Amino acid sequence: MVLRPMTGMVSFRAASARDLITIVALLADDPIGRGRENPGSQLETCYREAFAAIERDPNQLLAVAERSGDVIGVLQLSFIPGLTRRGMWRGQIEGVRVAASERASGIGRAMLEWAIEECRRRGCGLVQLTSDKRRSAAHGFYEALGFEATHQGYKLSL
Amino acid sequence: MVLRPMTGMVSFRAASARDLITIVALLADDPIGRGRENPGSQLETCYREAFAAIERDPNQLLAVAERSGDVIGVLQLSFIPGLTRRGMWRGQIEGVRVAASERASGIGRAMLEWAIEECRRRGCGLVQLTSDKRRSAAHGFYEALGFEATHQGYKLSL
């Protein structure tokens, strides 16, 4: 894959309620997300409630990548305390998306590197994520960042 | 694998600080956990701090299985709000252990079924966990409970 150069400064920050319509559009603009999300300018209450729950929880951080005032990427970090591995905190990454027009420009990599650094800053000893087995291109991306596919990721729909 | 019958009533409850020495011993009594944990009657501060962080966070539930006053199993549930899948809450299960003397008696299954029900009660639409690829016996166990290995589980040590 040839990387296009990133143009302009990209910055990362916590998402605000103003970003929600753009974020849900990003989540939906994806082969797997398309069938799962309901984007639009009038968002369903479920998204507003989920955003409020994320904002209330100090161990959640919904973050966006921004350039020239445009939100071009999103991910969620969860900081999880636990007893295993001598009481090690884990940083968990979910819902990583980059705007279609910005893919292969290095923004995904910059966003993940920022997220890993944020986990380190918050005292985590491990960063974890799962990636759908159908996302084969994503797997090489995570492995290039140093992630190892040591685990099976199981899901059960209720 | 032949299941031995469960003897006596098993109940499930939130762990208390009094259970901590037993829980860490359970985490260590495992081929993978052995090299990672430091059990004993004088626990390192790291475990006490991690337990306090779990107790402070209303979206964490460290649960034990108990029979006749003995703690015979442990797992941690994390309830994670998120925007994906139309703002669906996820229940995440980590650190599942059953006492060596109690394995293959159905307690693991009862404990997971209890955890899944707890996720449903808390409004989760999905339960997720990752299992080390070396734990091949565990994989059949999770699949028998209805979990599907749809994802790769990536870890990065910091």
Which uninterrupted H or E stretch holds B141? helix B136-144
* Per-residue pLDDT at A153 exceeds 80: yes
pLDDT tens for B93-108 read 999 999 998 887 899 9
> b/e per residue, A68-104, with b = 16+ CB within 10 A?
eeebbbbbbbbbbbbbbbbbbbbbbbbbbbbbeebbe
Q: Where are the alpha helices (DSSP H) in A79-151?
A: 84-87, 107-121, 136-144
CB contact under 8 A, B150 and A153: yes
Residue B132's Cβ-count burial label (10 Å; 0-12, 13-18, 19+) is: middle
Residue B5 to residue B13: CA distance in whole angstroms: 22
Residues 100-129 of B with CB under 8 A from A: 116, 119-120, 124-129
Those residues with Cβ within 8 angstroms of residue B65's Cβ, 6 or more apart along the chain or in another chain: B10, B11, B12, B71, B72, B73, B74, B98, B107, B110, B111, B114
pLDDT tens for A85-100 read 999 999 999 999 999 9
**Predicted structure pTM score:** 0.93
Dihedral of alpha carbons B106, B109, B112, B114, sign = negative
Report, as an integer, the average pLDDT of A140-148: 96
* Per-residue pLDDT at B1 exceeds 60: no
pLDDT tens for A31-87 read 888 889 999 888 999 999 999 999 999 999 999 999 999 999 999 999 999 999 999
Which value does ipTM take for this structure? 0.92
Those residues with Cβ within 8 angstroms of residue B111's Cβ, 6 or more apart along the chain or in another chain: B12, B63, B65, B73, B75, B96, B98
Residues 1-20 of B with CB under 8 A from A: 20
* Per-residue pLDDT at B90 exceeds 60: yes
Question: CB of A57 within 8 A of CB of B59?
Answer: yes
* Per-residue pLDDT at A2 exceeds 60: no
Those residues with Cβ within 8 angstroms of residue B132's Cβ, 6 or more apart along the chain or in another chain: A150, A151, B32, B138
* Per-residue pLDDT at A3 exceeds 80: no
Residue B126 to residue B80: CA distance in whole angstroms: 10
Q: Which residues of A touch B88 (CB under 8 A)?
A: 50
Residue B61 to residue B12: CA distance in whole angstroms: 12
pLDDT tens for B20-32 read 999 999 999 988 8
* Per-residue pLDDT at B156 exceeds 90: yes
Residue A58 to residue A79: CA distance in whole angstroms: 9
DSSP bridge pairs for A11: A66
pLDDT tens for B55-76 read 999 999 999 999 999 999 999 9
pLDDT band at B5 (very low <50, low <70, confident <90, very high): low
Residue pairs spanning A and B at CB distance below 8 A: 213
Residue B67 to residue B73: CA distance in whole angstroms: 10
Residue A64 to residue A60: CA distance in whole angstroms: 13
Report, as an integer, the average pLDDT of B113-122: 98
Q: What tokens were used for B75?
A: 């797992």
| Residue whose entry in the numeric block shows the structure tokens 């059953």 | B98
Residue A147 to residue A129: CA distance in whole angstroms: 9
Best B152, B155, B157 residue to mutate vs chain A (most A CBs within 10 Å): B152
